[in-house]
Amino acid sequence: MPPSLKLITTENQSDDDPLADDSHAPGTRRKFEQTVPLVTCWIAAGASRGAVRVNAQGETQANMCQSPLHPFLQALPKCEHHMHLEGSLEPSLLLSLAADNGITLPSSGEDPAFASADALLDRYSRFTSLDDFLHYYFIGMSVLVRAQDFEALAWEYFARAHADGVVHAEVSFDPQAHTGRGVKYATVVDGLVRACRRAESDFGMSTRASDFRHLPVGDAAVTFGDAKEDFMSGRLVGIGLDSSERDFPPGAWQLIYAQAKDANIKRTAHAGEEGPVEYIREALEKLDVERIDHGIRLGEDEDLMKEVAQKEIMVTLCPLSNVRLRCVKEVADLPIREFLNRGVSFSINSDDPAYFSGYILDNFCAVQTAFDLTLGEWKSVATAAIVGSWCEESRKGVMLAKLNELVEDYS
């Protein structure tokens, strides 16, 4: 998909911060309270119950590493910065919504993957490229029609994020993919807002309006213009770019990003995933981004890596996604060790978890299995994720205190 406009919200945090309440024991359900509707949703969550996947028969499939640090990874307060809401559409919900909304999906004769939810899950394990994934991604997106569909989708993600120990989540969605097929922008937002209210989050919800790389830049400008009121109100705070990278250098969106910077809007962009490392440099120089999404090619340019570290630009890594889309052969091929050694800030994220068989805890476990990080290294990763989050300093202080308390307990 082409680069996306990431619309992210910030509002003052409630004084009644569930993470600051020591009366909540690990593993208990914390109180949520929503204060701002839209994009990235900041969630207060308890300790993880483990990453759980449910097949069509309702059987749970828990994915966890065998490391002695697994209990620590479960309890670790996590920040998710890179998760596309549409990418959390599990096959079971996809098929249910298709039936409810009268959406005709490919027949099992046309594509055996649509024979059942389990067949879809199996097909998702065999993506050959980003474009192969996007083929199924857009078919799945077609079942989202009503506000209640978006609410159900968001709620399923929030429940899983809570189970995985997420305390701050920046969730993106792609408005153009919905408005382009006749779904009103307000319908999407209303559903997401209701899900956030159900989660009773104490924080704002942030969203990413995506400008597809294969669409004209003018379409992104229209979306950006439509969102101006939300930016002005403070409900939205950032823009980003996602989707297919190849043949879509990020510099084409320079004017929109310049307007965003002038309006004090946060800026990120997918770069260096399937595209070359030069796209990362271009995103920094022409878009003046404050984050790089994916950025796995950064390790190919020592000077650029040094620059990213010095400027404290966060890279939002998505390990299982990179393997599933064949950007790398295995998680161990990612530049995580190089980033740690050279002081590059990064967070670990799930990207499109329903399609890549891994929510955030699965990704943490995959990294631990591949790199055998120490408790101190995990503290560094978690600290960078908290510091790099787009939320109030007071909120960061609460999360850092919780992290330090956990590390002390496990030391």
Catalytic residues: 273
Cα 119 to Cα 114, 123, 257, 260, distances in angstroms: 6, 6, 41, 43
What residues does 204 pair with on adjacent strands?
A: 36
Instruction: Give the integer Cα–Cα distance in Å for 3 and 250.
Output: 7
In degrees and rounded to multiples of 5, residue 238 shows phi and psi of -150, 160
What CA–CA distances, in Å, run from 293 to 96, 152, 205, 228, 275? 32, 26, 19, 23, 12
State the Cα–Cα distance between residues 383 and 377, nearest whole angstrom: 10
Tokens 């995506």: give the residue.
210
Which residue matches tokens 């002038």? Answer: 262
Sequence-ordered list of residues with C-beta below 8 angstroms from that of 350, at least 6 positions apart, any chain: 80, 82, 83, 318, 320, 321, 356, 358, 359, 360, 362, 363
Q: Are 172 and 40 in contact (CB under 8 A)?
A: yes
| H/E segment holding residue 60 | strand 60-63
Cβ-proximal residues to 319 (8 Å cutoff; 6+ apart), any chain: 331, 334, 348, 363, 366, 367, 370
Of 119, 154, 149, 140, which is closest to residue 41 (Cα–Cα)? 154
Backbone angles phi, psi at 307, to 5 degrees: -65, -45
How far lies 25's CA from each of 31, 36, 47, 169, in Å?
12, 27, 8, 21
The first and second tokens of residue 121, run together, are: 């899950």
The neighbouring-strand residues paired with 36 are 204
Q: Give φ, ψ of 181 to 5 degrees.
A: -115, 20
